[in-house]
Amino acid sequence: MENFSDPALLACILLTLRVAGIATLVSACLGLGLAWGMTRGLAPARRPRGRSVVDALCALPLVLPPTVIGYCLILLVGRKGLIGPLLQELGISLIFSWKGAVVAATVVIFPLTYRASRAALESVDHNLENAARTLGASEWEVFYKVSMPLAWRSIAAGVSLAFARGMGEFGATLMIAGNIPGRTQTLSLAIYATFQAGDDSRALALVLLTSVLCASLLVLAESLTSRRFSQGARL
Amino acid sequence: MIDIRFRHAFPARLGGFQLRVALSAPQRRLAFFGASGSGKTLTLQAVAGLFLPQEGFIRVGGRVLYDSERGFCLPARKRNLGYLFQDYAIFPHLTVRQNIEFSLKTRWQTRKGIKTGERTDELLRGFELEQLAGRYPAHISGGQKQRVALARALAGQPELLLLDEPFSALDPLLRDRVRAQCGQLLARFNIPTIIITHDPEDVLAFADAVSFYQNGVNSACYNLDELEDAGKNAGDVPGELLRTLTGAGENDFPRTLNSAATW
């Protein structure tokens, strides 16, 4: 691939980081928000069945083939999709743009951030939160003065896992954003394109690069979970 | 001082426990006495606003905290009550000092205009915690934890202090000493208290009057000095408690609670 010069490689890496970064941020906020709502008696959480329905829906992107997610997203935000025309009115076009890749990655990694957040918030001792309430703390103060300081480590571990997964997103991204070098071609798409073009040595280089990036993220996530909230470490 | 009457029925899937509480007591120091699972803690949580009974009312010192008929419920943070949790529930991510000043820094409490620094220093001194101010809870003993929890609960100058089995988490060797210490501190603060316990010694040390719990129903409230008569007449009082309180012999009183309040 003669047009795959080094500036192009850098652009590809930056695009991958940008897409995964924004997607992680968005899905972390959504996941944490929903998780907080579910632990605080949001309407569906009050009934056991409502709760499992929400949980199942939130886990769906984990089990659906990426192509199915991509197709559903096109039905939703495509030019003739459900909310596509509305987005077009607002001047937002997701199809064949890097923003589409962000949407795809966000949906794919949402289950990871949601589940990590919920597990982390649920593991906070309920008595501590109640103690804060009797001491005059509002629900918001309980959240950021007690629940979050005790849960952030596990949440951060889940979020970094989500980031790593977002970097490697392929199927849904390909369907919604396409594979346009310099515009929507992320690392994993570039590997596929390079390999298809027969440039094996460059493909190998990209594979190594991606592996190193993802592996270091996993190590980071692991170190966050294994150190947990160790009371002994703080004197 | 306290006037409560409420009922709550848990759904069958959660065990179907029925709670019926009726209590009106002018005494400033009350005890709820009963076995675990008899509804004492739920009553305390209802007073604190951590548990909402389906129907009834809760009044403390003339203030309405909850009234299901009027659809009124004061949130826990505005009830101005201190709550000492059974396991102390000290925030593990905050130092002793930060734990104590927690309530002084919440938005609701800052309205009272208590000077945070001075008040915290005063409490650290009063509870002999000055040396530990910068330590995290993982590095202090059980008795010290209890003092921290007590100082924290009292920091915001609550109207009433709720003690949830405050000594059951301590080993027996420590218990008597901590109980005596806690009694002195509370006497100094001269604050109305409700203690829940299954230890007669706690009743003796912390209460002027006691109500008995069994299976989600509580008895009338007896002054400690009328207990003996009440025990003989109504059979309403656990013998074990009476023996401790009156120094009577093994066979003087019935062992269990056999009549319950009606409403």
Partner residue facing A128 (CB), from B89, B107, B136: B89
CA separation, residue A226 to residues A84, A158, A220, B91 (Å): 43, 12, 10, 21
Distance (Å, whole) CA A77 – CA A88 = 9
Nearest chain B CA: its distance from A12 CA (Å):
41
How many cross-chain Cβ pairs, A to B, lie less than 8 Å apart? 81
Contact A135 B77 (CB under 8 A): yes
A133–chain B nearest CA distance, Å: 5
- Select from A134, A230, A235 the residue whose CB has the most chain B CBs within 10 Å, as the one to mutate to test that interface: A134
B2-9 vs B55-60, strand pairing mode? antiparallel
Q: What is the DSSP string of B202-244?
A: HHHHH-SEEEEEETTEEEEEEEGGGHHHHHHHH--S-HHHHHH
List residues of chain A with CB under 8 Å from any CB of chain B: 125, 127-128, 130-138, 141, 145-146, 149-150, 229, 231-232, 234-235
CA distance B217 to B6: 11
CATH number of the domain enclosing A144: 1.10.3720.10
Domain hosting residue A217, numbered range: 7-62+94-234
Q: What is the CA radius of gyration of chain A?
A: 20
Q: Answer whether residue A197 is part of any domain.
A: yes
Q: Give CA B250 to chain center in angstroms.
A: 29
- Separation in Å, CA B109 to CA A143, B90, B155: 17, 19, 10
Q: What is the pLDDT of residue B254?
A: 43
Q: Do A133 and B77 touch (CB under 8 A)?
A: yes
pLDDT tens per residue, range A105-138: 999 999 999 999 999 999 999 999 999 999 999 9
The beta-carbon neighbor of B77 closest among A127, A136, A145 is: A136
Closest residue, chain B, to A148 (C-alpha): B93
pLDDT digits (tens, 9 = 90+) for B15-56: 889 999 999 988 899 999 988 888 999 999 999 999 999 999
pLDDT tens-place string over residues B157-191:
899 999 999 888 888 888 888 888 888 888 888 89
The pLDDT score that the predictor gives to residue B214 is 87
Residue A1 inside a domain? The answer is no
Among A109, A105, A80, A111, which Cα is nearest to A93's?
Answer: A80
Helix H or strand E segment including B146: helix B142-155
Would residue A76 count as lying in a domain?
A: no
Please check whether residue A136 lies inside any domain of the structure.
Answer: yes
Indicate whether A49 belongs to any domain.
yes
H or E stretch including A79? none
CB B44 within 8 A of CB B194: yes
Q: Tell me if chain A has a CB within 8 Å of the CB of B74.
A: no
Q: How far is CA A30 from the centre of its chain?
A: 10
Tell me if A198 is assigned to some domain: yes
Chain A contacts of B123, Cβ < 8 Å?
none
pTM to 2 decimals?
0.84
Q: Residue B249: pLDDT above 60? A: no
Name every chain A residue with its beta carbon within 8 A of the beta carbon of B155. 135
Tens-digit pLDDT profile for residues A29-85? 999 999 999 888 776 667 778 888 888 999 999 999 999 999 999 999 888 888 888
Q: How many C-beta atoms lie closer than 10 Å to residue A54's C-beta?
A: 18
* Residue B49: per-residue pLDDT: 93
In a domain, A2, yes or no: no
Interchain pair B136, A131: CB under 8 A: no
CB B30, CB B2: distance < 8 Å: yes
CB atoms within 10 A of CB B151: 23
Q: Do A135 and B138 touch (CB under 8 A)?
A: no
Contact between B218 and B41 under an 8 Å Cβ cutoff? The reply is no
Residues whose CB is less than 8 angstroms from the CB of residue A169 and which lie 6 or more positions away in sequence, other chains included: A19, A20, A23, A66, A101, A104, A105, A108, A109, A186, A188
How far does chain B reach from its first CA to its final CA, in angstroms? 21
Kindly provide the residue ranges of all beta strands, DSSP E only, lying in A73-151, ordered along the sequence. Answer: none
Chain A contact for B70 (CB, 8 A cutoff): no
Check CB contact under 8 Å for B85 and A132.
no
Q: Number of structural domains, chain A?
A: 1
Split at pLDDT 50, 70, 90, the class of B232 is low
Strand partners, B197: B33
Give the model confidence (pLDDT) of B90-123 as tens digits. Answer: 999 999 999 999 999 887 767 677 788 888 999 9
pLDDT band at A5 (very low <50, low <70, confident <90, very high): low
CA distances from A109 to A21, A24, A118, A169 (A): 11, 7, 15, 9
Q: Using alpha carbons, list the distances in angstroms from residue B167 to A54, B65, B86.
A: 42, 28, 8
Q: Which residues of B touch A149 (CB under 8 A)?
A: 93
Is there a domain that residue A79 lies in?
Answer: no
